[in-house]
Amino acid sequence: MTLLYSETEEFLRDSVRRLFADRCPPGAVAAAYDGAADFSGLWKSLAGDLGVAGLIVPESLGGAGASAREAAVVLEEIGRAVAPVPFLSSAVLATTALLEAGDTALLPALASGERTAALAVPLTSGPPTSGPPTSGPARHAAAVRHGDGGLTGRVTSVAGAAEADVLVVPVAGDDGLELRTVARDAPGLTVTPVLALDMTRPLADVEFAGTPSARVGPGEDAVARALLAGAALLASEQVGLARWCLETTLAYVKERRQFGRQIGSYQAIKHRLADLWLEVGQATAAARYAADTIARGDEDAEIAAAVAQAYCSDVAVHAAEECVQLHGGIGMTWEHPAHLYLKRAKADQLALGTPYHHRARLGDLVDLPAS
Amino acid sequence: MSSDEQDIAAGLSARVRALLAEHDVADERAFLGARFDAGLAWVHFPEGHGGLGLPQVWQRQVEAELAEAGAPYPDPGRNPIGLGMAAPTIAAFGTEEQKRRFLRPLWTGEELWCQLFSEPGAGSDLAAVATRAVRDGDSWIVNGQKVWTSGAEKARLAILVARTDPDVPKHAGLTYFVCDMTAPGVEVRPLRQITGEAEFNEVFLTDVRLPDFYRLGEEGQGWRVATATLNNERVAIGGAPSARETGMIAKVARAWRDHPELREPAMHDELMRLWVEVEANRLTRVRLRQQLAAGQPGPEGSAMKLAFARLAQRISGFEIELRGEDGLRYDDWTMRQPDYVDMTGRGPGYRYLRAKGNSIEGGTSEILRNVIAERVLGLPPEHRVDKSIPWKDLPR
Ligand SMILES: Cc1cc2nc3c(=O)[nH]c(=O)nc-3n(C[C@H](O)[C@H](O)[C@H](O)COP(=O)(O)OP(=O)(O)OC[C@H]3O[C@@H](n4cnc5c(N)ncnc54)[C@H](O)[C@@H]3O)c2cc1C
């Protein structure tokens, strides 16, 4: 088990970073909020040309046969650039669910970047707790039903649905939850983009009204595994985001002068940044461990993911909030990219389970029950 | 592992086996002495001085193999200053003769050590110490007062920072010594602390004569030597890797499991928050180890004590709240000088009070934040009005 980065991982990081520097600088990302932007070309380059869409797909299914560790490095870079690409929704969530459910039909096209998928669950869904089904697969079961006339039901706040060619839908079947796929252009399917706090991970409400679908396999474990992998890897996005905020803020406080001194020479600011730096370091270790346990199929993966989400979510928000505050008025402007990071960090905090959810879940996992 | 590494691993295992075969683990002092002589005390120390000149990462294998055999270990709770600070400083700055004289009895616990750094007028600002050492032929005469000296009443030797040149700026006029605590003129008075007991003391030094042999490093080089000591201290306090759910958090987790009647819904979230932070911190220390082993030491080391202090204080505070009536009781207010300091021992009240020292001893948390901000993050240094003025002219 190593919590460091391998050479291959660093190599991958470099190429993803270069692509983002070139194709989605902050100014371009901000356009996501004005509705006019189309980032499908960027995603095609990332998924297809750099081949990251198939990182966790085995070579036998056309993937790269790499692992969650490499996917985590890509997510760090996505967080660093607040890149508006459906990597988490397609290449992690939908892909993991399909792999677990035994799909062979769709995965090769997802791995090559030719097609893009989304798992039809609310972005707020966390990995299931053992307690009452307030979230997780059991709750999704109620959302969409399968009958003679096709699928009916509604799923709200689905990440990546508008960018997807295929929806991967957990459906209440006769023997429990099953996983089905629905083509984006199927009749009776309505995908309505919503205005979101964070427009760099677009959300949409999805409505099924007699929609045709194809069965993939059993869904209970598939959805649980997908949410687990998603939660574990989202932590790396949060680390990348937090690191950008820390570095950007550091650079600013070294340059900006007030009262005849650099503002970074004031102890109130130095101490806050020292604390933040410590948090980002700890978040890195927690996120690396979560990715590593997923990659190795380690039985500690559930605990590792809960720890990483509970910790890294709050660190990312803290970093983004400090970034805004320590930039003063500039931090409050539309022009400065800090707001893109704040919005993404705040939305990420809710994504795949809040820190509260993960702490509650962890209590069950480590025999510290709530009551 | 490369084949070189395999050779080292096998060589170490063979040494450990030979040590265990030839020496009785039941005789603690003799066994530790033999371990020192076999170069297995600190594998990264020079040969002949308790080590084998290997990279420090190999220490772990030795510890693991000896622990498995039930061999005695020099308890850092008994000689923390000696093992954590004096030993690495002597290894780095001592002469051959000094290493030969001091390291072995330090290791075996025959000679306990204390740290004569802080003074009434010089705490965080250690470089401001006023204790004077004046050369007299082949020895030094020391006069001054030290304070907060943990374990001085038991110590045979001390590490001491004293002023040898008052005419230069404060950092430049210091020299580092080993002090003989049994020498005439050394007077130790206990200072009772908030836990009721007295771990620390004030130490008065009146015309204490130290042979020049007791000087560690060059005259005037004391600041450099002291900085090395302090870096080791911070790593010793916060840096050691540990297993999951050990130390302070283990106490609270156990109370939670054993006493369902204490559980409050809102407390559960706080408990898990602390558990998560401890685990994130533990993984950071694991990662730090891996960075060191890969030859890329991360600057996180200096932050580990800061994190440790914060967590110990929050957890021990939470534990009192959790325990209800038991949290209101205290085990022992008797004034005594403990043989042994276990910050996670005794009752919750003791743990809470003792943890308050964690953000003061070995560099306060504020000073550590300054260190991180300046040395790691490259932020501008604090304004220092006293940096270039001769020490004797400083305003007091
Ligand atoms: C339990 C315990 C054991 C100890 N054992 C030993 C020992 O064995 N040997 C030994 O030599 N010493 C020992 N010490 C002393 C310890 O190292 C000092 O107490 C410490 O360095 C702080 O110095 P001070 O007490 O003079 O506080 P001060 O330096 O006066 O600090 C007071 C407050 O001001 C803050 N402060 C000071 N300077 C700054 C600054 N530049 N920026 C921001 N804030 C600042 C501090 O953080 C602190 O909060 C021990 C202390 C404790 C609590």
pLDDT tens column, B219-230: 999 999 998 887
B203: nearest Cα among B152, B128, B160, B139 = B152
Choosing from B73, B100, B125, the residue where a domain stops is: B73
Sort out which chain A residues have CB atoms less than 8 A from B381's CB and list them: 265
| B115-to-A181, A216, B180, B356, B358 alpha-carbon distances in Å | 70, 69, 12, 20, 16
Residues B154 and B242 in one domain: no
Question: Which region among B45-54, B317-326, B333-342 has the lowest average model confidence (pLDDT)?
Answer: B333-342
The answer, yes or no, to whether any atom of ligand 1 lies below 6 A from the CB of B123, is yes
Picking from A214, A227, A239, the residue whose alpha carbon sits closest to that of residue A312 is: A239
The pairing of beta strand B186-191 with beta strand B174-180: unpaired
Question: Percent of chain B having pLDDT more than 90?
Answer: 81
Between the CA of A262 and the centroid of ligand 1 the distance, in Å, is 28
Ligand 1: atom nearest CA of B362 is 17
Whether residues B31 and B171 fall in one domain: no
pLDDT score, position B138: 96
User: To the nearest whole percent, how much of chain B has pLDDT over 70?
Assistant: 96
For residue B33, pLDDT over 80 is answered with yes
Looking at chain A, which residues constitute the CATH 1.10.540.10 domain(s)?
Answer: 7-115
Distance in angstroms (rounded) separating the CA atoms of residues B21 and B33:
15
Averaged pLDDT, A289-301: 97
Contact status, residue B303 vs residue A281, Cβ threshold 8 Å: yes
- A2 interface with B at CB cutoff 8 Å: yes
**Cα dihedral: A34, A38, A40, A46 (round 10):** -70
Q: Is the same domain home to B122 and B58? A: no
Query: Does B148 contact ligand 1 (Cβ within 6 A)?
Result: yes
Architecture of the domain spanning A222-365: Up-down Bundle (1.20)
- Tell me: pLDDT of B85 over 70: yes
| Interchain CB contact of B29 with A (< 8 Å) | no
Tokens 């796929």 correspond to what residue?
A: A181
Does residue B101 fall inside a structural domain?
no
* Weakest mean pLDDT among B10-14, B20-24, B168-172, B386-390: B386-390
Domains in chain B: how many in total? 3
B204 at A interface, C-beta within 8 A:
no
What is the CB-side half-sphere exposure of residue A265 using CA atoms within 13 A? 13
The arithmetic mean of pLDDT across residues B2-30, rounded, is: 93
Chain-centre distance for alpha carbon A269:
31
* B341 and B269 in a common domain: yes
Within this chain, do residues B48 and B137 fall inside the same structural domain, yes or no? no
CATH for A7-115, options being 3.20.20.140, 1.10.540.10, 3.40.50.300, 3.30.70.260: 1.10.540.10
Tell me: do B232 and B163 sit in the same domain: no
Q: Do A310 and B272 touch (CB under 8 A)?
A: yes
Q: Is the same domain home to B33 and B65? A: yes
Written as six digits, the tokens of A53 are 């869409």
Site to probe by mutation for ligand 1, drawn from B176, B361, B365, B371 as the one with most ligand atoms within 8 Å of Cβ, is B361
Same domain? For B206 and B249 the reply is no
Specify which residues A181 forms β-bridges with. Answer: A168, A214
Please report the beta strands in B19-163, taking only residues with DSSP state E, as ranges in sequence order.
Answer: 113-116, 132-136, 139-147, 157-163
Domain co-membership, B287 together with B233:
yes
Position B297 scores a pLDDT of 59
C-alpha to C-alpha distance for A211 and A181, rounded to whole angstroms = 10
Residue B113 in contact with ligand 1 by CB distance below 6 A = no
Q: At what angle do helices A68-81 and A7-23 cross, to 10 degrees?
A: 30
Please state the rounded mean pLDDT for residues A110-124. Answer: 97
Structural domain range at position B68: 1-73
- If you search the block for the tokens 């470099």, which residue do you land on? A14
Distance (angstroms) between ligand 1 centre and the Cα of B362 equals 7
Which residues neighbour B247 within 8 Å (Cβ) at sequence distance 6 or greater?
B278, B312, B344
Is residue B11 included in any domain, yes or no? Answer: yes
Q: Could you report the per-residue pLDDT of B185-205, keeping only the tens digit for each?
A: 999 999 999 999 999 999 999
Does domain A133-217 sit in CATH 2.40.110.10? yes
Q: Name the A residues in 278-337 with CB < 8 Å from any B CB.
A: 278, 281-286, 288-289, 306-307, 310-311
Q: B246 and B203: one domain?
A: no
Which of the four pLDDT bands, split at 50, 70 and 90, describes residue B395?
Answer: confident
Cβ contact A241:A229 at 8 Å: no
Could you tell me if B71 and B63 are in contact, meaning their C-beta atoms sit under 8 angstroms apart?
Answer: no
Domain with CATH 2.40.110.10 in chain A: 133-217
| B272 chain-A contacts, CB cut-off 8 A | 310, 359-360, 362-363, 368
- Catalytic residue positions of B, numbered: 233
Cβ within 8 Å of residue A2, ≥6 positions away: A292, B290
The dihedral of CA B151, B153, B156, B160: what is its sign?
A: positive
Model pLDDT for residues A297-340, shown as the tens digit of each residue: 999 999 999 999 999 999 999 999 999 999 999 999 999 999 99
β B215-216/A257-258 pair status: unpaired
Specify the pLDDT at position A134: 47
User: Of chain B residues 257-276, which have a CB less than 8 A from chain A?
Assistant: 257, 260, 263, 265, 268-269, 271-273, 275-276
Measured from the Cβ of residue B324, the count of other Cβ atoms closer than 10 Å reads 12
Nearest CA to ligand 1 atom 26: B123
Residue B390 falls inside a structural domain: no
What pLDDT score does A132 carry?
A: 46
Mutate to test the pocket of ligand 1, among B124, B161, B181, B199 (most ligand atoms within 8 A of CB): B124
Is the CB of B20 inside 8 Å of chain A's CB atoms? no
Supply the CATH number for residue B237's domain.
1.20.140.10
Angle separating helix axes A301-326 and A220-255, nearest 10 degrees = 30
A67-105 per-position pLDDT tens digit: 999 999 999 999 999 999 999 999 999 999 999 999 999
Of the candidates B229, B240, B226, B379, which has an alpha carbon nearest to the alpha carbon of residue B304? B240
Instruction: Look up residue B225 and give its amino acid.
Output: V
Residue B290 confidence (pLDDT): 85
- Mean pLDDT of the residues in chain A: 95
Residue with tokens 């985001």: A241
Q: With a CB-CB cutoff of 8 Å, which residues 218-247 of chain B face chain A?
A: 245
**pLDDT in the model for residue B273:** 98
8 Å CB contact between B272 and A368: yes
Helix (H) or strand (E) holding A146: strand A144-147
The answer to pTM > 0.90 is yes
Domain membership flag for residue B202:
yes
Instruction: Give pLDDT tens digits for B270-318.
Output: 999 999 999 999 999 999 888 877 766 556 666 888 999 999 999 999 9
> Do the domain assignments include residue B274?
yes
Instruction: Give the whole-number percent of chain A exceeding pLDDT 70.
Output: 96
Q: Are A150 and A191 in contact (CB under 8 A)?
A: no
> So what's the pLDDT on residue A133?
44
pLDDT computed for residue A175 by the predictor: 79
Q: Is the domain of B341 the same as that of B265?
A: yes
The last residue of a domain, from among B220, B255, B281:
B220
Ramachandran class of B137: left when φ > 0, alpha when ψ lies in -120 to 50, beta otherwise: left
pLDDT digits 0-9 by tens, A190-229: 999 999 999 999 999 999 999 999 999 999 999 999 999 9
CB contact under 8 A, B279 and A286: yes
User: Where a domain ends, among B220, B244, B267?
Assistant: B220
Looking at the predicted structure, is the pLDDT value of residue B88 above 80? yes
Residues B283 and B360 grouped into a single domain: yes
Q: Where in chain A is the domain with CATH 1.20.140.10?
A: 222-365
A139: pLDDT strictly greater than 60: no
Distance from CA of A307 to the nearest CA of B (A): 5
Query: Residue A279: pLDDT band by 50, 70, 90 thresholds?
Result: very high
